[in-house]
């Protein structure tokens, strides 16, 4: 579901989100705090308010930045912007990005799952500060990036308020 990733939606719904499981691409949980990402987020957040963008930027900014890092590294390594050369290179290369190391599988998809399954929890107000704190969202999958266990059933998860 698109929407709960936005800080505007998060602050509008506040504690009503407790227990909901949704997807994200990046969150400030320990396993995702790789070299460079804190800088990307802090620079993004400095400009977000004045530009009318999502105040936190967790959903789009790190992934978009990482995507451009992949392009930059591929162009630098191949010395060209030829699409065929870039495709060939990206099929075998590994890329150091602000979201961690990225490698692609044979069909062009990520070699390791990177879409996060996230459960909202412990949200007590509609203040944006609630959503800056990694404790309000647990990454429950994929296992390699998990920061918590799924609280189930939904009724039990909602008790985290």
Whether 65 has a pLDDT exceeding 80, the answer reads yes
Domain residue spans of the chain: 7-158
Residues comprising the chain, all counted: 161
Q: Is the pLDDT of residue 109 over 70?
A: yes
Average pLDDT of the chain to the nearest whole number: 92
Looking at residue 161, what is its pLDDT?
55
pTM of the model: 0.86
Radius of gyration of the chain, Cα coordinates, nearest whole angstrom: 17
Position 3 scores a pLDDT of: 87
User: CA angle, corner 151, sides to 146 and 155, nearest 5?
Assistant: 155
Q: Which pLDDT value is given to residue 160? A: 62
Q: What pLDDT, in 10s, does the model give residues 24-57?
A: 999 999 999 999 999 999 999 999 988 989 999 9
Q: Pick from 128, 119, 103, 132: which is nearest to 159 by CA?
A: 119
């Amino acid at each position: 579901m698109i929407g709960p990733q936005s800080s505007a939606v998060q602050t509008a719904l506040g504690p009503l989100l407790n227990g909901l499981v949704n997807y994200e691409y990046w969150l400030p949980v320990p396993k995702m705090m790789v070299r460079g990402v804190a800088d990307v987020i802090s620079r993004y957040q400095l400009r977000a308010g004045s530009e009318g963008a999502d105040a936190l930027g967790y959903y789009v900014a790190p992934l978009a930045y990482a995507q451009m890092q992949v392009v930059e590294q591929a162009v630098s390594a191949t010395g060209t912007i030829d699409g065929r050369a870039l495709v060939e290179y990206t099929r075998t290369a590994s890329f150091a990005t602000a979201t961690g190391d990225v490698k692609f599988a044979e069909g062009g998809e990520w070699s390791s799952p990177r879409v996060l399954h996230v459960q909202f929890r412990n949200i007590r107000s509609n203040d944006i500060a609630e959503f800056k704190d990694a404790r309000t969202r647990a990454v429950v999958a994929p296992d390699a990036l998990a920061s918590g266990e799924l609280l189930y059933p939904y009724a039990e998860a909602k008790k985290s308020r």
